[in-house]
Amino acid sequence: MAQQRGVAAVTLTIGVDVGGTKVAGGVVDDTGTVLVQTRRDTPADDVGKTRDVIIELVAELSAGHDIQAVGIGAAGWIDASRSTVLFAPNLAWRDEPLRAYVSAAVGLPVIVENDGNVAAWAEFRYGAARHADDSMVMFTIGTGVGGGIVLGGELVRGAHGIAAELGHMLTVPDGHQCGCGRLGCIEQYASGSALVRFARAAARQEPHRAAALLELADGEAEAITGPMVTAAAKGGDPVSAEAFAQVGRWLGTSLADMAQILDPQILVVGGGVIDAGDLLMGPTRRSFTEALAQRSRLPVAEIRPAELGNSAGVIGAADLARRI
């Protein structure tokens, strides 16, 4: 009986991670384990079809499981009630009442959350910051820079639902033009696209020195991609290593700002760039330590790489759904 009750007590939720190219979904238990997972292409230009893909995915995953709720993570600004996608840069959604629509269609409670917040929550609960009981700040380094903040054991969502918009902190006044219109956002210095921009520029400037990297790109600097820079850096290419060092230098500075603003228990860095390991984390930690030199006597957060990789979106969204 006791055991049966225990089994009954395992609650399952579904997490959905809506990206610009793929929609991933999974059934997740209360230990953060993904029991089943699936993915589809994102019909990014079509508001209606993206909703339909989410609903199909939830229906498919629900089959044979007793699902309690659904969490959806998406790049964009979500309102304070976690119901409406106010704006999504890579999708066609504008003031989209996603929660109500999906909930009605699948007959389950639904919450919608920003993808940076979702990833941070997953790492806080089950990943790099699982030993922290109170606070963490996470930077997710993709094409752009996303963020998530946990304080007092809860996500910081902001008075209008749009906190942790870390990619657009001002980093270099009058610096590189950002897609948002400003000059010098951190997204132009500590992102995957900055990594590629730095590497391409160096390959154009010093093709001989960048021979190993250029070979991966069939000799075309403009064909260099992030994974190529990572591969070349790991293989000893100096130009690629320097591109990571540039990104790390700026990332470390921003992490130091976070340590001074929020003083969290742990700082986490996620996204594809962390595959480069110490090539990124070494310069990041050096820049961080240097920025905080004067308080070296005082304890400060440790910087850790994220641990959940691409699953963070599904795990975090599912875990947030459990807490509705």
Interacting residues with a copy of itself (CB under 8 A): 77, 86-87, 134-135, 147, 149, 151-152, 154, 156-166, 168-177, 180-184, 189, 197, 201-202, 204-206, 253, 256-257, 260-265, 291, 293-301
264 or 313: CB nearest a copy of itself: 264
Number of residues assigned to the chain = 324
Rounded to a whole number of angstroms, the minimum distance from the CB of residue 60 to a copy of itself is 34
The token pair at 135 is 């606070």
- Is 128:178 a contact under the CB 8 Å cutoff? no
5 or 297: CB nearest a copy of itself: 297
Rounded to a whole number of angstroms, the minimum distance from the CB of residue 298 to a copy of itself is 6
284 or 311: CB nearest a copy of itself: 284
Residue labelled with tokens 């790492």: 123
* β-strand pairing of 154-155 with 12-18: unpaired
- In a 10 Å sphere around its CB, with 0-12 CB exposed, 13-18 middle and 19+ buried, how is residue 37 labelled? middle
Rounded to a whole number of angstroms, the minimum distance from the CB of residue 187 to a copy of itself is 11
For residue 35, give the nearest of 12, 53, 57 by alpha carbon.
12
- Is 83:100 a contact under the CB 8 Å cutoff? yes
Rounded to a whole number of angstroms, the minimum distance from the CB of residue 152 to a copy of itself is 6
71 or 161: CB nearest a copy of itself: 161
Give the rounded distance of the alpha carbon of 275 from its chain centre.
14
Torsion-angle region of 319 (φ positive above 0: left; ψ -120 to 50: alpha; else: beta):
alpha
34 or 156: CB nearest a copy of itself: 156
Rounded to a whole number of angstroms, the minimum distance from the CB of residue 243 to a copy of itself is 12
- Is 134:117 a contact under the CB 8 Å cutoff? no
Partners of 87 in beta bridges: 77, 94
6 or 181: CB nearest a copy of itself: 181
Rounded to a whole number of angstroms, the minimum distance from the CB of residue 201 to a copy of itself is 4
